[in-house]
Structure 1
Amino acid sequence: MLSPLNFLPTSRRVAVIGAGAGGLVTARELGREGHQVVVFERNTRIGGTWVYSSEIESDPLGVDPNRTRIHSSLYKSLRTNLPRELMGVRDYPFVPREGEDRDPRRFPSHREVLKYLEDFANEFGICKLVRFGTEVVFAGLEEVGKWRVEFRCENGDVDEDLFDALVVCVGNYSQPRVAEIPGIDGWPGEQLHSHNYRDPEPFRGKVVVLIGYSSSGTDICQELIGVAKEIHIAWRSAKTELLDTESINSNVSFHPMIESVHKDGAVVFQDGCTVSADVILHCTGYKYHFPFLETNGIVTVDNNRVGPLYKHVFPPALAPGLSFVGLPFKVVPFPLFELQSNWIAGVLSNRIALPSKEEMLADVKAFYKDLEALGKPKHRTHDLGDCLPAYFDWLAAVCGCPAYEEWRKEMYIATHMNKVANLKSYRDDWHDNELIRQAYEEFRKYATNEGSQNHSKLSV
């Protein structure tokens, strides 16, 4: 709830961990609320996972704790699976810009998303808040109510600093989850996680078993068609809604999950089908991973449920000093970051009041009970899915922001339906021009002040 109009604003010193999209948007919202912000970023530039690297980790499967770490999970050809109209923050729309190295497409490449984030950071002066080349190795609560952050600098020295609050914005795409497969230790083939997939060429002429058929699985499958000898997709879901018949090539087969693998290279699926495979490619998502965070067991990661968290953001026992931005998935990320961090900033300044710790914990327990009643597994706790519009509306209401616009909700649904029907071509063939018109009509409200934005194209 919003605090009374005569509330006394409080300015706090806040540490933001990560200068990816979540950290950048959070830094802006905190700064607008009057807080003093320090952003810790272990890399030498902003952008997080949107900074593409052709390199892969020393363990392609991503399970060796001593492997070399690569920050990005991008494959070379990646384009967004959401239209740019949905992706930008409200007052800084993600519209096409002039320039020979810019990508004006509605579903642009990862390079264009990075440029948008760089434009955003420059527009709002965020880079001056970032300590680059600085990896947080410990963050814990001091007895005096301060958060102590220890960080390793580029020269290897470890230093520390104290903060009133800590916001974790490290992203969800660095610690791979892999499928558990009986007999895998003796299987002679190659394994990798999609985190370390870059392009299809290494799979030319090979028999590939691809586990998972969500966002990365569908994209990678499309790239492998015509390159791999055979593609066998192991998919946990029994649904067939994503099976675009136009994209199913003679060398693509769908199966239930893998039952076992064997020393002769055989992969046996639960339907009894057996294939001799060269590669198993895990498109199985990621684990939440906060190795630096010490909460004395108050916040845990249990089967990929980070909890207990009130509305996916505040741990009741440590609120408002600790918060998380960007944990939910199957979302529209940048607007999610904006609303969550606006809430956090308002709570820290006393503009917005949280419920009592007891009320927040009761809400969390009720939420978990509802998930259990729906049969939703624990590892999908932060999967918003169909609940996304209601969650956005709740955040907007508690922050005192305008409600999530209807055109956004309709465009999100239309994009999903178009993807289901046209998996190969949905990024370049759409039929929601009226929604696009509504989007740009709204964007023009933010382009009236030419000094604040230099968007070069605000027409459909």
Structure 2
Amino acid sequence: MLARLNFSPHPPPQPSAMQHSSNSQSQPLTSRRVAVIGAGAGGLVSARELGREGHSVVVFERSSQIGGTWVYLPEIESDPLGVDPNRTRIHSSLYKSLRTNLPRELMGVRDYPFVPREGEGRDPRRFPSHPEVLKYLEDFANEFGICKLVRFGTEVVSAGLVEVGKWRVRFRCESGDVDDEIFDAVVVCVGNYSQPRVAEIPGIDEWPGEQIHSHNYRDPEPFRGKVVILIGFSSSGTDISQELLVVAKEIHIACRSAKTGFLLAESVISKVSFHPMIKSVRKDGTVVFEDGCVVSADVILHCTGYKYHFPFLETNGIVTVDDNRVGPLYKHVFPPALAPGLSFVGLPFKVVPLPMFELQSNWVAGVLSKRIALPSKEEMLADVKAFYADLEANGKPKHRTHEMSDCMVEYFNWLAATCGCPAYEEWRKGMYDYTHVNKRANLGSYRDDWHDDELIRQAYEEFRKYTTNGRS
């Protein structure tokens, strides 16, 4: 295994040298005043890319620290299901034991690799715990001077177009005072993990059991000795189900593709059963599944994902959220009628997040500086309509509009080509695929059971482009 690397970044690249695009325009770069909403991973990376492009950046962050969803809080909301609009709000969706489901080598931005570091409290594992990811984000922000751009304790109340090319951002300070400022552009980076999306279940209002969304799951202890119905078996569902094995009396997993490749010897034991989705629930506490199976349960735990939620955004109906489709958006980033003044970084899911943030925000920065030209509004809208038609023709539901999955590499390479950045490396593709194959084969141990050292060798060879003293 290769040793730790001591990081020393290259100087910021000049856009004309490293990021020149074939569709860029031959004119001096334009500097804009840009509001970035959110200081999570997406906002931090966006702030760096915008700053490198020469823009003046203000990052609005309602909490007192950077990190967004990677800031763990043990508290949960007053409504564990997360549907009461008057509930106390907790931004974080982390559970106490969470570790990344991707290897760290994939997760960092290109020129600031997420390599193990020495120091108290650091986690050198290939799939580190959530505090290590937060430390990486703090290291990144400190290295590139991003914290000085962030206004902490400042919640954006509204952001709307006031005239052509000008956006008014109203914000509430810690004192409670509300103020506003004018910007040339707004980049929305608020993350996608704070507004729960719950399953619709006939009869649920009269069901006597408990309901909770994974947003408010912190540890398995409250489920000790209980019969738990877990809806959904994606990232959070698989992790939480493994934790519940230790404490729950029974676990019943309801998912649309029941008995998928995750039906593994280590998890298929007497207390775990897989079912199709819930058909209805009854007053006597029973749950009826679509296959007719009936179970008496104590808790329904919704591992059903999140809603895109932008209550501050004022676009006069131009940008809407319809069944979790944010649109119309050209390539998941620019609304054609409001481009380039409004953009979104971080909407696609089932991706490797930080590299995507880097590419998307590099594109946004280049478009705002006029280094990169967008198609006409008509061409962008036509592209969006064709994309929606293709989704419908392939039977993909509207709420999965922003799901990348098998399209991720193609999307990343499109962004890279548009920005004039390097394409997604083969070792990254190989590592991403290997991780998912290994997870299917070893659900409970894949994070600690890595065997493809050649991929690791290639990764650290790549990282040496951005490090010094590579061998310790």
What is the 5 A alignment of 1:60-459? 60-238=80-258, 240-448=260-468
**Once the two structures are aligned, what percentage of the paired residues are identical?**
84
3-state secondary structure, aligned to 2:409: helix
Amino acid at match of 2:186: L
Q: How far apart are the structure 1 equivalents of 2:443 and 2:67? A: 28
How many residue pairs end up in the alignment? 452
- 2:76 aligns with 56
1:302/1:98 CA distance change after superposition, 3 Å: same
Quote how far apart the aligned CAs of 1:241 are: 1.2
Please report how far the alpha carbon of residue 394 of structure 1 lies from its aligned counterpart in structure 2 after TM superposition. 0.5
Check the 8 A contact 1:40/1:132 in 2, yes or no: yes
Amino acid in structure 2 at the alignment position of 1:108: P
| Structure 1: stretches of 5+ with no match in the other structure | 451-456
When the two chains are superposed, the root-mean-square deviation of aligned CA atoms in Å is 1.1
Offset of residue 144 of structure 1? 4.4
**1 CA distance for matches of 2:334 and 2:77?**
33
Counterpart of 2:52 (choices 32, 40, 47) is 32
Alpha-carbon spacing, 1:458–1:17, altered in 2? closer, same or farther (3 Å): farther
Counterpart amino acid of residue 294 in structure 1:
E
Q: CA deviation at 1:126?
A: 0.2
The alignment partner of 2:171 has SS state of strand
In structure 1, the residue matched to 2:13 is none
TM (normalized to structure 2)? 0.94
Asked if the contact 1:137–1:150 (Cα under 8 Å) also holds between the matched residues in 2, the reply is yes
Q: Is the 8 A contact 2:24 2:370 kept in 1?
A: no
> Does the aligned pair in 2 maintain the 1:313–1:325 contact within 8 Å?
yes
- After TM superposition, the score normalised by the length of structure 1 is 0.97
Q: Which moved more, 1:239-248 or 1:409-418?
A: 239-248
Structure 1 residue 34 displacement after superposition: 0.1
Partners of 1:168 and 1:150 in 2: how far apart?
Answer: 14
Q: Contact 1:147/1:164 (CA < 8 Å) preserved in 2?
A: yes
Q: 1:229 to 1:352 in 2, by over 3 A?
A: same
Question: 1:7 deviation in Å?
Answer: 1.8
Task: Report the AA paired with residue 227 of structure 1.
Answer: V
One-letter code aligned to 1:295: T
Q: How far off its partner does 1:237 sit?
A: 1.5
2 CA distance for matches of 1:458 and 1:112? 22
For residues 430 and 340 of structure 2, the distance between their equivalents in structure 1, rounded to whole angstroms, comes to 34
CA distance in 2, matches of 1:328, 1:227: 34
User: What is the one-letter code of the residue matched to 2:385?
Assistant: K
Query: Is the 1:440–1:458 Cα contact (8 Å) retained in structure 2?
Result: no
The answer (yes or no) to whether the contact 1:3–1:350 under 8 Å persists in 2 is no
Distance in 2 separating the partners of 1:144 and 1:316: 14
Superposed CA deviations along residues 394-413 of structure 1, whole A, max 9, x for unmatched, are 00000000111000011100
Q: Is the 8 A contact 1:225 1:249 kept in 2?
A: no
Aligned counterparts of 2:421 and 2:222: Cα–Cα separation in 1 = 48
CA distance in 1, matches of 2:280, 2:459: 49
Partner of 1:453: none
Tell me the CA shift for residue 458 of structure 1. 6.2
Distance verdict in 2 for CA 1:187–1:54, change over 3 Å: same
**Which runs of 5 or more structure 2 residues have no equivalent in the other structure?**
1-20
Distance 2:406 2:47 in 1: 28
Deviations 1:361-404 (A, max 9, x none): 00000000110111000000000010000001100000000111
Note if contact 1:342-1:399 (Cα within 8 Å) is conserved in structure 2: yes
Q: Which one-letter code corresponds to 1:138 in the other structure? A: S
Higher RCO structure, 1 or 2 (CA under 8 Å, sep 6+): 2
- Cα distance change, pair 270–4 in 1 and its aligned pair in 2 (3 A): closer
- In structure 2, do the counterparts of structure 1 residues 239 and 350 end up closer, same or farther at CA, with 3 Å as the change threshold? farther
* AA matched with 1:61: L
Letter in 1 for 2:69: T
Cα shift at 1:145: 2.7
1:23 corresponds, among 43, 48, 70, to 43
Counterpart AA for 2:422: P
4+ residue runs over 6 A deviation: none
User: Is 1:2–1:353's contact at 8 Å kept on the other side of the alignment?
Assistant: no
Query: Residue 181 and residue 147 in structure 1: after superposition, are their counterparts in 2 closer, same or farther (change >3 A)?
Result: same
Q: Which amino acid aligns with 1:57?
A: E
